[in-house]
Amino acid sequence: MTLKFARTRKTVVSLFAATMLSGVALTPAMAKTLVYCSEGAPEGFDAALYSANSTWDASAETIYDRLTEFESGTTKVIPGLAESWTISDDNLEYTLKLREGVKFQSTDDFTPTRDFNADDVLFTYNRQLDKNDPWNSYFPGANWEMFNAMDMPSVIKAIVKVDEKTVKFVLKQPDASLPSKLALNFGSIMSKEYADKLAAEGRREDLDRKPVGTGPFRFVDYQQDAAIRFAANADYWAGAPKIDNLIFAITTDPTTRMQKLQAGECHVAPYPAPADVAGLKANPDLTVLEQPGLNVSYLAMNTLIAPFDKLEVRRAINMAIDRKAIVGSVYQGMGQVAKSVLPPTMWGYNGKIEGYSYDPEMAKKLLDGAGVKDLKMKIWAMPVSRPYMPNARRAAELMQADLAKVGIGVEIVSYEWGEYLKKVRDEARDGAVILGGTSDNADPDNLLSYFFSCSGVGGSNNANWCYKPLDEIFQKARTSSDQSERTKLYEEAQAIISDQAPWVPIAHSTVVLPMSKKVKNYVMEPLGSHRFEQVDIED
């Protein structure tokens, strides 16, 4: 089968914002600069190395493109750098025709000599697929988390260069979700020519520090933990952005973000505290968008560490935590208690799962039956607000109080965001972590495999819980093209996860995004990203 598709601002700024603008080339009568108050600093700029949305917003959604993309505002897969693709009769070969005339960005120390071609696709994927590839371990601790969590090494047999503008993905087994997986951020296409230059000069790590892509914005510079500056890519194949400069002003505190927004220091500011939403809606200078999030927040126990390797203990902790009280206090009407690990707005959701009821007395009995007394544990609280969790510290304090009632002493710990994300992947981690996620492609496999596959242990599987019968269900679901059959398998998977209780599912949030009324054409993305290629600002 063949699939083919078509595809002078005045700013009120504070001294801080003016400082951020220094060095950006502005033509006063014409240049348009949008300031986005980002909630967290990026871990780096090679999108395949990381899994945080704050990092992807600053890399995958600005600098890079993928072979396939998600249509803005939807979960529909459309062509990206691959303008069309064909699928063999046995569903084991996907042949992709690459887009002509796509140019990589130029920077101060790199000027491309050729357009995007098949070599770039092979470089982007083989460095993740092949452990012997010289770029597989170019960055300390590189584990290609999302690529492995999606079990791509079990799916892809080889990637073949047919010619300069054609590549073929040869699969080990059918995978009906491959086109949507190619749109995930680990598939952000890198320049092989740039990588070769960096290797020759002995500075491979600049692939992550000084990024080059084909996307709508080119990287200008990064002031650590303060600001990232981008400029419009005038040669962007899909048309140059409407704004000339894009600045990410890194502002981790949600109250400060909203203050900057209302003072005119930034134009878009995500993830307000729920208590601030009513006031933001009442501000006549702001537009406040909102929609149900395809997300989940959770507390993940490390099942490799005693006593969390005991099912009774995990169930006891689920029963000891009053999730309804957490949602009421932390989300304040902007979320609902999670019964399953999938959000109810996603296909494949198992509505028959009720989850664990708040039952401290039963929790005590389960702990006694497991021979666990005077348990001490750590709960890790994120230092930043996320779309799925507005205030992890407050949630942790409520959990601490609940667990004390059943005889469990809790120490709350936290780390800087990048360090937090690094440390939670340690298989020897001491503590249960508060985290969450937003679906990247609206396919149940994305969240389920990412969080619970055996291949994700030590990476995205923050419970470090490997359950072979569950992996077999994931495998069956991936190889089926029948959505009703896949739905049944994913419903079964959710029932197993609920029964085995490696997590305490907490909530599914409503995502709120306030912005200046000067911002035009902004579209909320159901998959949680922030995109600016079509955004404009009126004078």
The residues pairing with 4 across neighbouring beta strands, listed in sequence order, are 84
- The predicted model gives 493-507 an average pLDDT of 98
User: Which pLDDT does position 19 carry in this prediction?
Assistant: 40
Q: Is the pLDDT of residue 252 over 90?
A: yes
Cα distances (Å, whole numbers) of residue 249 to 21, 478, 490: 10, 40, 40
Specify the pLDDT at position 1. 41
Segment 395-408 shows an average pLDDT of 98
Predicted pLDDT of residue 521 = 97
- Residue 7 burial (CB < 10 Å; 0-12/13-18/19+)? exposed
pLDDT in tens, 201-237: 999 999 999 999 999 999 999 999 999 999 999 999 9
d(CA 511, CA 270): 9
Task: Output the six-digit token pair for 288.
Answer: 């406040």
Confidence bin at 192 (pLDDT 50/70/90): very high
Write the burial class of residue 89 (CB in 10 Å: 0-12 exposed, 13-18 middle, 19+ buried). exposed
In this prediction, residue 457 carries a pLDDT of 93
Residue bearing the bigger pLDDT, 387 or 316: 316
Q: In sequence order, what E strands does 192-325 have?
A: 217-223, 227-232, 245-249, 286-292, 295-300
Max alpha carbon distance in the chain (Å)?
A: 74
> How high is the pLDDT of residue 176?
83
pLDDT single digits (tens) 132-145: 999 999 998 888 98
CB of 64 closer than 8 Å to CB of 237: no
Q: Cα–Cα distance between 140 and 107 in angstroms, integer?
A: 25
Confidence band of 169 (pLDDT split at 50, 70, 90): very high
Share of the chain above pLDDT 70, in %: 94
Angle between helical axes of 483-500 and 444-452 (0-180°, round to 10):
30
CA dihedral 124, 75, 293, 389 (to 10 degrees): 0
Q: What is the pLDDT of residue 8?
A: 33
CA distance 539 to 537: 7
Q: Determine the Cα–Cα distance for residues 381 and 319; give it in Å rounded to an integer.
A: 20
- 17-21, 227-231, 508-512, 535-539: segment of lowest average pLDDT: 17-21
Please enumerate in sequence order all residues whose Cβ is within 8 A of that of 368, keeping only pairs 6 or more positions apart, or say none. none
Q: Which two tokens stand for residue 414?
A: 């936290």
Q: For the segment 2-57, what is each residue's pLDDT rounded down to a tens digit?
A: 343 333 333 333 434 444 444 444 444 469 999 999 999 999 999 999 989 999 99
Distance, CA of 322 to CA of 319 (rounded, Å): 8
Q: Which residues, 6 or more positions from 247, have their beta carbon under 8 angstroms from its beta carbon? A: 20, 21, 24, 33, 34, 35, 36, 227, 228, 229, 230
The whole-number pLDDT of residue 355 equals 93
At 398, the pLDDT band (50, 70, 90 cuts) reads very high
Domains for the chain: give ranges and CATH numbers.
2-263+518-537 (3.90.76.10), 295-510 (3.10.105.10)
Tokens of 290: 């909102």
Instruction: Using pLDDT thresholds of 50, 70 and 90, give the confidence band for residue 376.
Output: very high
What element of type H or E holds 69?
strand 68-70
Q: Average the pLDDT over each of 79-93, 114-128, 442-456 and give the range with the smallest value.
A: 442-456
Q: pLDDT by residue (tens digit) across 275-304?
A: 999 999 999 999 999 999 999 999 999 999
> Which amino acid is located at 111 in the chain?
T
One-letter identity of residue 132: N
Cα distance between residue 388 and residue 364, in whole Å: 30
Output the pLDDT for position 27: 41
- Residue 177: its pLDDT value, please? 87
In this predicted structure, what is the pLDDT of residue 141?
83
3 state DSSP class of 157: strand
Token digits for 314? 């995990």
Angle between helices 444-452 and 468-479 (to 10 degrees): 150
pLDDT at 55: 96
Concatenating the DSSP letter of every residue in 520-533 gives ES----TTS----T
